[in-house]
Amino acid sequence: MPRVTFTPDDVIVDVHSGENLLRAAMMADVQVTATCGGDGTCGKCRVIIEQGAADAIPSTRLSKEQLAEGSVLACLTHVTEDVVVRIPAQSRPGSVPSTHGRRAAAPLLSAEEHAARIPKHKSRPVASKYYLELPRPDLSDNADSVSRLKGALRREHRITTTAMSPEAIRQLPLALVQGEWKVTALVLEIHRATPLVIGVEPGDTTAHQHTVAVDVGTTSVEVALIDVTTDTVLAQLSEYNRQVLLGADVITRVIAGSSPAGLAQLQGLIAETITHLVNEVCDMAAVSPESVDAYVIAGNTVMTHLLFGISPASIRTEPYVPVTTQFPLVAAHDLGLPGSPVAMVVAIPCPASWLGGDIVAGVVAAGIPWTDRLTLFVDIGTNGEIVLANREWMIGCACSAGPAFEGAGILHGMRAADGAIEHVRIDDKTLEPAILTIGNVKPLGICGSGLIDCVSELFLTGALGRNGKFMPLAENSLRFREGERGPEFVLVDAQDSATGNAIVLTETDVESLMRAKAAIHAGIDVLAECVDVEIDQIEEVVVAGGFGHYLDLERAMVLGMLPELPLARFAFIGNSSLIGARRAATCGEMLKKAHDVSEMLTYVELSVNVGFMDLYMSSLFLPHTDLTRFPRSEALLSRRSGAMEAK
């Protein structure tokens, strides 16, 4: 890991190779002015490389003299080796010294680290193609064509017992003629089911095998197009779930989906969302959508019901049961999804009404079914889903977090996409924000990780009280004003945003975030109490969610969203639902493990849990009413206020 030393504060941070230098400074809490989101246009993030070399994109914002002294724009520079970087006085908004001597890199697990958590399995993908050369029949060997094909699968690929779909049997005679008895069979292998031949094509088409993994979220949907032959993701894309037209939250969708007309409309909208994304990723990878042979879907229970056209009505009323936890194998075309004529849809099982296949997939992706370590898994989305588990036992719950973390319900919120502010630092004295956006482009809005950063930074500067209200100190800053919706903090001035309008954070936005974080923290407390575990006995915390590539876990602790534990115990794995769906698509053993997890999980229904509401109310402050549980946040708060007073 390259090491970055920032002077004159002598702050050190270890980062992943290729890390953006502005992000490295933000991770180290070194103040650098940055108003354009990392777009390279404001020219305010100039720093000087004093030792070592970094990968910098040349900028016309720098003079010849500045270039000669080693100046670069931090937002356009990537770190690949140890460097010493000086922050000139002009690039420091308020010059408050950093509160950290040293900080580790954001513990985002890499693909390799994910893979290392899961034992290697030689297991076939959910859908695979097999090339077969069939013996022609004659008078001495007059077995039927289906038996010949099954025999060839057994002999050449050791697939012993097989069934054939009616469509595959219909395709067989023409494929045999066109391929002159050389054909490719498409076989679906699902946990506990007989391998099923779902299609037959003439000749050898094994070079083209594509499966789509889908994470169906209430707010966002993300798909990954997988080349099954190489187990690689060819393209990946997300967008808002078009069902938001009928309501932003999951309860509204359940109500809408309780009538036949509403259910049909919601099914159509989710199919439309997935179809659009699949067409886009196929376009990006120069692959025909007709080459998609299978889908593996991981979604929450309501979304999975809606995609399959099953009424979710029973989920909303006591005793809160779904229609099914296991979903049938369905043809993609029957659900309105693109693909080959025989493409099938496989859904990860949903163990309970409010604990779905997305969480099961995430638990598998995090490697929890293979670990002895007591692990807390927290998936933060429209709902906060929490699992406390190891390989022996698993307990989980879900709490309504609201859509704040996905950027919805926030005045200038947006999902984690290009232009979303994902990282914020606010100068203690001047209250001037430095921002970094996804894609290093002009800011469009703020996503979940940016929101967490912004609120925790305002709290640490003293501009936001423990109750989530702006403090009198804020009134002295031009950054605070009275907006149409009450008091607001101007995060980006109109001239610096991509929309031409200021990007602001309102007190109502802060309230939404506080309700969401309180629900998650209280849910964690409930699970720990259920199994009589002290929070500090938790050996690992895996945080998942569609935050983009970055979530500052320490800031999430400052908010009181996550329990305060040593940072080394935390890992952020991004969209674990999609990772799990992808793994299940390319390895049958992973799909089997998903079924095992679904059966192992004990679900705790928070709406009838007597202690939940008390724990929730205690968490509705920054960071919590019980400050003894957050000593590090308290220390950080006093260090920053001490640093301000010393100025």
Binding residue (CB under 6 A) for ligand FES from 15, 25, 30, 45? 45
Tell me the C-alpha distance between 435 and 491, whole Å. 8
Least distance between ligand FES and beta carbon 440 (Å): 8
Binding mask 509-528 for ligand FES (x = CB under 6 A): --------------------
Tell me the C-alpha distance between 254 and 257, whole Å. 5
> Six-digit token pair at 541?
């915390």
Least distance between ligand FES and beta carbon 580 (Å): 35
Complex with ligand FES: residue 43 or 439, whichever CB lies closer: 43
Complex with ligand FES: residue 74 or 590, whichever CB lies closer: 74
Of 414, 482, 484, 481, the closest CA to residue 450 belongs to: 414
- Chain positions 75 to 104 lying near ligand FES, rule: CB under 6 A, are 75
Interface region with ligand FES, contact rule CB under 6 A, candidates 40-48, 96-104, 139-147, 407-415: 40-48
Interface region with ligand FES, contact rule CB under 6 A, candidates 38-46, 130-138, 241-249, 453-461: 38-46
Residues in the interface with ligand FES (CB under 6 A) total: 13
Tell me the C-alpha distance between 396 and 61, whole Å. 52
The verdict on 433 binding ligand FES (CB under 6 A) reads no
Complex with ligand FES: residue 44 or 305, whichever CB lies closer: 44
Least distance between ligand FES and beta carbon 78 (Å): 13
Tell me the C-alpha distance between 465 and 564, whole Å. 20
Beta pairing class for 375-380 and 163-164: unpaired
Of 400, 216, 363, the closest CA to residue 303 belongs to: 216
The verdict on 43 binding ligand FES (CB under 6 A) reads yes
Tell me the C-alpha distance between 53 and 189, whole Å. 51
Query: Is the sign of the CA dihedral 583, 584, 585, 588 positive or negative?
Result: positive
Complex with ligand FES: residue 26 or 187, whichever CB lies closer: 26
The verdict on 44 binding ligand FES (CB under 6 A) reads yes
The verdict on 38 binding ligand FES (CB under 6 A) reads yes
Which helix (H) or strand (E) covers residue 216, if one does?
A: strand 210-216
Interface region with ligand FES, contact rule CB under 6 A, candidates 35-43, 83-91, 215-223, 274-282: 35-43
Beta pairing class for 55-56 and 19-20: unpaired
The verdict on 425 binding ligand FES (CB under 6 A) reads no
Q: What distances in angstroms separate CA 517 from CA 347, 382, 464, 522, 641, one per listed residue?
A: 30, 12, 16, 9, 24
- Chain positions 130 to 149 lying near ligand FES, rule: CB under 6 A, are none
Interface region with ligand FES, contact rule CB under 6 A, candidates 33-41, 83-91, 105-113, 231-239: 33-41
134 sits in the region (left: phi over 0; alpha: psi -120 to 50; else beta) called beta
Complex with ligand FES: residue 381 or 445, whichever CB lies closer: 445
Q: What distances in angstroms separate CA 327 from CA 291, 292, 305, 360, one per listed residue?
A: 24, 20, 8, 14
Tell me the C-alpha distance between 573 and 553, whole Å. 12
**Length of the chain measured in residues:** 647
Q: What distances in angstroms separate CA 19 from CA 23, 81, 332, 493, 544, one per listed residue?
A: 7, 10, 40, 27, 21
Complex with ligand FES: residue 47 or 277, whichever CB lies closer: 47
Binding residue (CB under 6 A) for ligand FES from 15, 73, 343, 558? 73
Least distance between ligand FES and beta carbon 108 (Å): 22
Complex with ligand FES: residue 305 or 423, whichever CB lies closer: 423
SS3 of 391, please?
A: coil
The verdict on 42 binding ligand FES (CB under 6 A) reads yes
The verdict on 622 binding ligand FES (CB under 6 A) reads no
**DSSP state letters, 226-273:** EETTTTEEEEEEEEE-GGGGG-SSHHHHHHHTTSHHHHHHHHHHHHHH
Binding residue (CB under 6 A) for ligand FES from 27, 36, 355, 597? 36
Least distance between ligand FES and beta carbon 31 (Å): 13
Least distance between ligand FES and beta carbon 292 (Å): 40
Interface region with ligand FES, contact rule CB under 6 A, candidates 30-38, 343-351, 472-480, 551-559: 30-38
Complex with ligand FES: residue 423 or 629, whichever CB lies closer: 423
Complex with ligand FES: residue 45 or 544, whichever CB lies closer: 45
Q: What distances in angstroms separate CA 446 from CA 19, 103, 247, 316, 406, one per listed residue?
A: 21, 25, 21, 31, 9
- Can you give the binding site for ligand FES, defined by CB under 6 A? 34-36, 38-45, 73, 75
